[in-house]
Amino acid sequence: DTGVSQDPRHKITKRGQNVTFRCDPISEHNRLYWYRQTLGQGPEFLTYFQNEAQLEKSRLLSDRFSAERPKGSFSTLEIQRTEQGDSAMYLCASSLQGKLAAYNEQFFGPGTRLTVL
Nearer to other proteins, 4 or 19 (CB): 4
Nearer to other proteins, 80 or 108 (CB): 108
DSSP state of 51: T
Cα angle: 65, vertex 45, 77; to 5 degrees: 30
Q: Applying CB under 8 A, what is the total number of residues that bind other proteins?
A: 28
Cα angle: 22, vertex 33, 109; to 5 degrees: 55
Q: What are phi and psi of 116, to 5 degrees?
A: -105, 120
Is residue 33 a contact point for other proteins (CB under 8 A)?
Answer: yes
Least distance to other proteins, CB of residue 80, Å: 24
Nearer to other proteins, 10 or 15 (CB): 10
